[in-house]
Every structure is written in C-alpha cells, then in structure tokens.
Structure 1
Amino acid sequence: MRMRSGVLPVFWVWVLAALPAVACQADVVTRLPTKEKVLALTFDGCETVTPSYVDESIAAYLAREKIPFTLFASGKFARRNRERLAELAALPFVELENHSDSHHLHMERLSRAQQQGEVIGNEAPLAAITGRKPRFFRFPGGYYDGAALKAVEDLGYRVVHWSFASGDPDRHLSAERLYRGVVEQSRPGGILIFHINGRGYQTGAALPRIVETLRQRGYRFVRLDELL
C-alpha cells in the first residue's frame, strides 16, 4: 500500500501503537547538552605497535593548573602507563575512559564478538587503575557503523567522539595553526580532542595558550561525566 509522504492511515497508527517498544540505538555524542560556555577537553592515549607514553608536556600542565579533562586510553597504553595514569586518575578533575583494547582502527570490520572483546578487554586494565568500570567509549579513529555502535552500547557504554578534529596528529601542523584552529572552531558545549600519547606533536606547546584564550572568552572546562 502506498502512502502519501507525512500521512499515516488511522489503521496503521493503531497497529504501530500496539507493537512492543523497541530500544533505539543512541547517537554518538559529539556535543555536550548545554548552551552554556563550557567545553570538554578530551585526550586519546593509544598504542598499536610502537610503545607510547604519556606526554608530560600536556599531563603536567593539566595537573598543575587543575584543568578538568577526560582521557580515553587503549588497553596497551593503559598497561604500559599504568602508574602514571593512576596518578592522573586519582586527581578529582581527571576522568579515564575506554578507547578499546588493541586500538583496531576499523572496529566496524570486526565481528560482533570481536567488537565487544575490544571493549571488554580494556575494562580490567582501566578498572585496576580507577577502581570502577568505564562508562564512555571512543572508537579508534572515529570509525564505526550501526552494528558496531549497537555492540558497544549493549555493553552499557555511551559512545563519545568530538565536535571537530583538532588535527594534532599531523606532524606538519604548527602550534600556531593548532591554536587558531581550535580557538576559532570552539562553540558552547563543544568536545575538543587531542592526543596525549606523544602523537599530538604540537599540543603541548599550543594547549596553554588555547586554554588561556578560551577562558578569556568566558569558557570553563568540564569532565564529560559532569554533563553526560
């Protein structure tokens, strides 16, 4: 039966109303649910083949200035940097969340069991550091499809990505360009993304100026769990 766009016959309204409710797949979070001038600073700490360590030019600055931030760590990165991450996670303004176990760049190409294994495999390393199960997940590289998203959500996670890419893994991006790009694109409720694993090549140099400028413009920084 063909129906005109936007018009649903009464019969079908009754039929749909009688159907059991089906849980809907949530959207990937890319903004905080607020119009206030707040921003979430988030950092990816990931490792695949090459050993990666916490970038102290970033971590020491954030800790010293007591700036709230959320760190998405992969399992390999968490195990290699356990002591330092434990020090950071003990700070009341730091939140440590799940970024998969092996940082497989295309989790959408894995089976459901493998996708959930990537998530579950990183729970123990992070729980050993924080004393709790993570609540947020970020797909490596931001790659996912509907099936991968549902596989993660079925484990009780909310998937959080970012409002715009800072581009800090680009070796050719200068600290000045990184600063200007982030400051110019930041909007109320934005989720900013950088890397804290040594691959945010100019982040340590640009971050203090980014934070200072945004604060001068009336922004404050929050952990994700303050608003999500």
Structure 2
Amino acid sequence: MIPVRRIVATCALGALGVALSACGTSGPPGTPKPAPPGPPASASGSAVPSRPPTLAPGPGGLTPVFTNGPRTRGRTVALTFDADMTADEGPRAAGGEHFDNPRLINTLRAFKVPATVFMTGRWADQYPAQARALGRDPLFEVANHSYSHYAFTKDCYGLPTVSKDRMRADVERAYAAFTKAGVPHAMPYFRFPGGCYDQQALRTLSAVGVTAVQWDVVSGDAFATDSDAVARQVLEGVKPGSVVVMHCTRSAAPATERALRTIVPELRKRGFRFVKVSELIGAANQHP
C-alpha cells in the first residue's frame, strides 16, 4: 500500500482544518501595475492545447502522481499556488475575510511569470469573476484542488474527510464550478488537499482521468510573516524540474508576494526559466 503523504505544505500548517486561500485579479491601491494579460482563449480552444499532457496510469490503472519534471532537460521550474478555500468558509468570506491576493497575481503578471493555480471549486463559486480572469489569462493555468478542500485520507492535519464514495464527485463538482465561473480550459491535474493520499484515493480517482500533482519544494509560506525566510527556503530547494508549492492569499500567507520579489529575479539570475506544470509533465513524457 502506498503510504499517506503528509507533506508539510502551506495548506496543512498552522491552525488545523483552516483552509488557505487563493488568488485575485484586481489589486488595491498601490498594487504594482501588471503587464497586460494576453487575449482570452478562443471558443475553439486554440489558446490551450486540446489535449494537455498527462502521465500514463500507474500499476493497475491507479491515478498517476507527478512530483517534479526531468532534472536534465534545462533549468525549468514551476511555481504553483494553491487556492484552497474550504466548503464551510462561506460565512467567513461574508464577514469580510479575503481569500485572495490581488497584489501577488499582479506581481506575477508584472514579472511575466507563468504559473499553475490549483483552485478549489468552492473558491470559484465565491469569486467567479476572478476565477474566470485567471482561467482566460494565458499566463496561468487552472487545475483542480477538489471542491471542498476536505482530505482524501484520514488524519490529514485535522481537515474534514471526504468519504470514499464522494471522492470522485468532489473532484467533478470542482470542474463543474470552474465551468460555471467561465474557466474555459481547466487542466486535467489534481492536487490532494493537504497533499494527503493513499492507494484507495488513487484508485477511486482513476476514473476521472487526472494526473495527481504533488511537489518537491515546500515554500513554507503558510502563515509565515518573514518573506526572507520563505524566499530562502525556496531558493535552497529548487533544482531543475522542480515544482514549488506556494499560496496566494492575503490572510494565511501574507509574506508570499514579497518573497516572490526575491525568488523570481534570483532564479532568473541562476538561469532558471519559469514554466507551467503542463510543460514539465510534457517534458517528462518525452524523457521519462
């Protein structure tokens, strides 16, 4: 049996059961002016490949798991941002809590850094205009982080648990939320809430046809207030082909945007090129 992965990632640190937040698209006063996004994807899908790369199923048809790209195919790195508002956080949003970080998204645009956003369906329901803008901006790709942000195993950092018979429905409900919000091309990639999974979860999701995406670099940005420490942890961990897990939220990862201002120029100075997860998976298929 594949052991449960309990990666110490941002969505799993700090107050247990509290989901981290996601990305916005319009900044407050003082937000740096972003580079203009490209045109929206056309109805025919020409802005996004019609068949995004995925990994072949694992033994017995299990959902494949992707952690990092090839180490020898150039100095590429994928920054990923979890948008993990949980299903029960609507009252907190209604009370004024912000589950977005417009300044961070604008900074990515200003630096022209492509990124993959793993979004919960609940967040897309809460912020449909922002989800649509992210999904139509060719700088970004939107992937699935479940609808509820409930765990797919037991004992996952205090998160509520999705029952086995609801796992597939939870993932499919997230895709339905993306469609409702106007995201035209959600990717066939799934990130387990908390990074927790086991063989049963992989087997249950095999019918959905997704590639599960983990990471090999933990940014440590959850609830962090020291942007230098976050930047240092990322810079010390990145290797060619790395997938970095981060968050874009004003409340639960307040240091991330400042950390990016150090991370991006330094990695470019070292010769790294920023790519989306889809490019790393495509490279892995070509050179397993």
Query: Which digits, 9 at most, give the CA deviation of each residue in 1:194-220, with x for residues without a partner?
Result: 111332220011112101000000000
Q: In structure 1, what residue type is equivalent to 2:226?
A: S
- Unaligned regions of 5+ residues in structure 2, if any? 1-58, 155-161, 282-288
What stretches of structure 1 move > 4 A for 4+ residues in a row? none
Q: In structure 1, what residue type is equivalent to 2:152?
A: M
**Counterpart check, 1:108 vs 2:160:** no
Q: Kindly indicate which of the two structures has a greater share of residues assigned to helix.
A: 1
Q: In the TM superposition, what is the alpha-carbon distance from 1:66 to its structure 2 partner? A: 2.0
Aligned to 1:72, the other structure's residue is in SS state: strand
Query: Which digits, 9 at most, give the CA deviation of each residue in 1:87-142, with x for residues without a partner?
Result: 222221210010001110x2124333211121011011112332235300000110
Aligned to 2:223, the other structure's residue is in SS state: coil
Query: Which digits, 9 at most, give the CA deviation of each residue in 1:158-209, with x for residues without a partner?
Result: 00011121111133x5111111111011100000111113322200111121
Contact in 2 for aligned 1:76/1:102 (Cα 8 Å): yes
**Counterpart check, 1:40 vs 2:78:** yes
Within a 5 Å distance, the mapping from 1:81-160 to structure 2 comes to 81-104=127-150, 106-109=151-154, 110-128=162-180, 129-160=182-213
Aligned to 2:218, the other structure's residue is in SS state: coil
Contact in 1 for aligned 2:135/2:186 (Cα 8 Å): no
Q: Quote the Cα distance in structure 2 between the aligned partners of 1:66 and 1:125.
A: 27
TM-score normalised by the chain length of structure 2: 0.67
Q: Quote the Cα distance in structure 2 between the aligned partners of 1:69 and 1:89.
A: 11
Query: Which digits, 9 at most, give the CA deviation of each residue in 1:65-94, with x for residues without a partner?
Result: 221100001111111121122222222121
Aligned to 1:103, the other structure's residue is in SS state: coil
Aligned to 1:87, the other structure's residue is in SS state: helix
- Unaligned regions of 5+ residues in structure 1, if any? 1-21
Contact in 1 for aligned 2:219/2:234 (Cα 8 Å): yes
Q: In the TM superposition, what is the alpha-carbon distance from 1:34 to its structure 2 partner? A: 4.4
Q: In the TM superposition, what is the alpha-carbon distance from 1:154 to its structure 2 partner? A: 2.1
Q: Quote the Cα distance in structure 1 between the aligned partners of 2:186 and 2:111.
A: 27
- Specify the alignment match of 1:13 in structure 2: none
- Specify the alignment match of 1:224 in structure 2: 277
How well do the aligned residues superpose, as a CA RMSD in angstroms?
A: 1.7
Contact in 2 for aligned 1:31/1:190 (Cα 8 Å): yes
- Specify the alignment match of 1:167 in structure 2: 220
Contact in 2 for aligned 1:97/1:126 (Cα 8 Å): no
- Specify the alignment match of 1:205 in structure 2: 258
Aligned to 1:227, the other structure's residue is in SS state: helix
Q: In structure 1, what residue type is equivalent to 2:275?
A: V
Q: Quote the Cα distance in structure 2 between the aligned partners of 1:77 and 1:145.
A: 25
Aligned to 1:70, the other structure's residue is in SS state: strand
Moved more, 214-223 or 147-156: 147-156
